[in-house]
Amino acid sequence: MKKIAIITGASGGIGQKFVRELMKEILDEIWVIGRNQRRLLVLKEEFGEKIVPICKDLTEDTDILSISDLLREQTISILWLVNNAGIAKMAPSTEFSISEINQTIDLNCKAPAELINICIPYMEKGAKILNISSASAFLPVPYLNLYAATKAFERSYSRALNAELKPSGITVTAVCPGWVDTAMLSKEIDGKKVHFPGIVAPEKVVKKALKDAKKGRDMSVCSLYVKCQHLNVKLLPQKLTMKVWLYGIRKYFRGVGNE
């Protein structure tokens, strides 16, 4: 039986670092999923024959179902599932098209839930699921509200599922980083350079996430900065934490609630 890991959004940022770290585990194959075939092939060139590029758009139901077909064709055991693919847009809600709203919800919420259900039948005691949520899951975040709400879904879904799967020995970890230095972050908004307080390198998030997953933790928070944020939102009223956030980003957006 082949022992495998599956990593979505493996071609860039955090996902690519998961590939690097999971290469150190005893695995026969690492299935790397993303839309960009060329970038997936670059991973194979870099990390070798264990890498199995799977070019799929996870917002498409047919693509998700085709992953189920691929699994059915083989005798495999999934040791790691990393639901990492995600999209974000920081902008006033009125600037989102219907398609952008659907894509964000489909990729950040629907795809991880569907992939988990497809993969669980191939998992045994000790298998690990990691869902890359975000520190934005801790509170409502104006101008990032759609993204933050999808990440709150991922966090809540992961923690509940972890409790539900306890008897099976499969663990689920919600990874909740703050700002991470990847291509996802818009470095400029309206010509203004954006400051990301507490920003960390993706390697740091990934190493901590894998360590926490191995300990069976249902949540992974990697820096002192985010740990303090987490504590703040537990102690302070949400209206106040939203005001502090709005104060910090007021120079990038001027509009309703942020004059």
List residues with catalytic annotation.
147
Site for ligand NAP in 213-252 (CB under 6 A): none
Nearer to ligand NAP, 88 or 129 (CB): 88
107 sits near ligand NAP (criterion: CB under 6 A):
yes
Number of residues that bind ligand NAP (CB under 6 A): 29
Q: Least CB distance from residue 252 to ligand NAP, whole Å?
A: 16
165 sits near ligand NAP (criterion: CB under 6 A):
no
| Binding-site member from 7, 79, 132, 141 for ligand NAP (CB under 6 A) | 132
Q: Least CB distance from residue 183 to ligand NAP, whole Å?
A: 4
Nearer to ligand NAP, 36 or 168 (CB): 36
Q: Least CB distance from residue 67 to ligand NAP, whole Å?
A: 11
Nearer to ligand NAP, 45 or 259 (CB): 45
13 sits near ligand NAP (criterion: CB under 6 A):
yes
CB atoms within 10 A of CB 215: 10
Nearer to ligand NAP, 145 or 182 (CB): 182
Q: Kindly report the three-state secondary structure assignment for every residue of the chain.
A: CEEEEEEECCCCHHHHHHHHHHCCCCCCEEEEEECCHHHHHHHHHHHCCCEEEEECCCCCHHHHHHHHHHHHCCCEEEEEEEECCCCCCCCCHHHCCHHHHHHHHHHHHHHHHHHHHHHHHHCCCCCEEEEECCHHHHCCCCCCHHHHHHHHHHHHHHHHHHHHHHHHCCEEEEECCCCECCCCCCCEECCEECCCCCCECHHHHHHHHHHHHHCCCCEECCCHHHHHHHHHHHHCCHHHHHHHHHHHHCCCCCECCEC
Which backbone phi and psi does 20 adopt, to 5 degrees? -55, -45
Between 24 and 63, how does the x/- string for binding to ligand NAP read (CB under 6 A)? ----------xxx--x-----------------xxx----
Output the six-digit token pair for 43: 């991973």
Q: Least CB distance from residue 219 to ligand NAP, whole Å?
A: 13
119 sits near ligand NAP (criterion: CB under 6 A):
no
Site for ligand NAP in 179-208 (CB under 6 A): 179-180, 182-185
Output the six-digit token pair for 193: 């350079």
Of 42, 56, 69, whose CA–CA distance to 9 is shortest? 56
Q: Least CB distance from residue 198 to ligand NAP, whole Å?
A: 10
Contacts with ligand NAP by CB under 6 A lie at 8-9, 11-15, 34-36, 39, 57-59, 84-88, 107, 132, 134, 177, 179-180, 182-185
